[in-house]
Amino acid sequence: MRSVFQTDKTKDHVKSLAFMDPNGGVDIQRYDTMKYRQFDKLTDKQLGFFWRPEEVDILKDSKDFKELTDWEQHIFTSNLKRQILLDSVQGRSPNVALLPLVSIPELETWIETWAFSETIHSRSYTHIIRNIYPNPTQVFDELMNIQEIVDCANSITEAYDELIEKTKYWELLGPGTHTVNGKKVKVDEYELKKLLWKCIMSVNILEGVRFYVSFACSWAFAELKKMEGNAKIIKFIARDENVHLASTQTLIKLLPKDDPDFAKIAKETEQECIEMFMQAVEQEKAWAEYLFKDGSMIGLNVELLSKYVDWIAHKRIQAAGLSSPIKIDSMNPLPWTQKWIAGSDVQVAPQETEISSYIIGGTKQDVEKNTFSGFKL
């Protein structure tokens, strides 16, 4: 049985496998020497991005929301509900599913940091809902009434649930065939690694594809000078998700080199992983159709969002080392979203949370003696 602390003095953490090392899990949390410094850099980056939703002023959003059309309110509220689901899963699942299998400290610390940042996202949705809706509880209570959200929940939790279940058997019973509640259960280390690989790929899809229809809608409102506080928060969330995506992409590239079993698994599951991506693409497109079933908004419609999903997914599939079956144009169909996504160097501080359209006047500091020459009353 694995312990929360390994006392084997002969273990060399720099030579340990990233996951499921035969000599056990993490012992000393040390960062003077590391096997994969990439994860320590991701931790530093995420910690440098620390922010709190209360720093963002969303008072104007409450007034904006009342002025939205019924279908615009439907788009906004439905996206909030779906984002709550996605980050509820991510707020706990990386810790529960991945930490029991981790063998090196820098990866363990990254996963803990990653999960903590997801809880900030969940808190931010509550912050938005409290300030916009007269009955916040109703928004949460109705969250699972939307079939498209239920389908998404089932899809993204399947890989997590199976890995968590088989990990418990592996920890408590060890390899072999066992009887659990009258049911035969086979525990095999290689098959557990295969579940881990598919789980990491599923999370990669979640972080890299599943948020972007909702993100685009939030930013489209802000482009129209509506719901700008919400869009600012979503920008911070997207910035975090880019770091999380970088971590799953790093794992997908490193694990086949770290452990020969994962190199074999990557080849065996290649088609299955592509199908996982395509399932997410279809669900994102179905979500776009649900959002715009009663009407569109200026600058955004189902066709554009579907092309955007294809464009995003094509890039993510290739980044995962897979062959993309999606045919796309080379240009981003929603080029204006790039300014919202490309914010990885933005530092969050209270003084930076003003919404641009709130600022009516300002002081220009480059006034010279001849600035008003020729000016007559």
How do residues 42-55 score in pLDDT, each as one tens digit? 999 999 999 999 99
Annotated active-site positions, please?
125
**Average pLDDT for residues 2-6, to the nearest whole number?**
58
Tell me the HSE value of 370 on the side-chain side, using a 13 A CA sphere: 0
Write the single-letter amino acid at 179.
T
The model's pLDDT over 150-199, given as tens digits with 9 standing for 90+, comes to 888 888 899 999 999 999 999 999 999 999 888 999 999 999 999 999 99
Q: Residue 350's pLDDT is what?
A: 38
Sign of the torsion formed by the C-alpha atoms of 230, 231, 237 and 240: negative
User: What are the start-end ranges of the E strands in the chain?
Assistant: 176-180, 183-187
**Average pLDDT for residues 342-355, to the nearest whole number?**
45
pTM of the model: 0.87
Higher pLDDT, 334 or 362: 334
Cβ 185 vs Cβ 230: under 8 Å: no
Q: Residue 344's pLDDT is what?
A: 47
Q: Residue 9's pLDDT is what?
A: 57
* 343 pLDDT higher than 80: no
The model's pLDDT over 267-324, given as tens digits with 9 standing for 90+, comes to 999 999 999 999 999 999 999 999 999 887 888 999 999 999 999 999 999 999 999 9
Q: What are phi and psi of 101, to 5 degrees?
A: -105, -10
Q: How far is residue 371's CA from residue 231's CA, in Å, rounded to a whole number?
A: 37
**Average pLDDT for residues 93-100, to the nearest whole number?**
94
Average pLDDT of every residue of the chain: 88
Q: Which of 219, 213, 59, 91 is nearest to 157 (CA)?
A: 91
Cβ 203 vs Cβ 252: under 8 Å: no
Q: What are phi and psi of 346, to 5 degrees?
A: -80, 130
Q: Residue 161's pLDDT is what?
A: 95
Strands 183-187 and 176-180, sheet pairing: antiparallel
* 366 pLDDT higher than 60: no
**Average pLDDT for residues 222-245, to the nearest whole number?**
95
Q: How far is residue 238's CA from residue 32's CA, in Å, rounded to a whole number?
A: 31
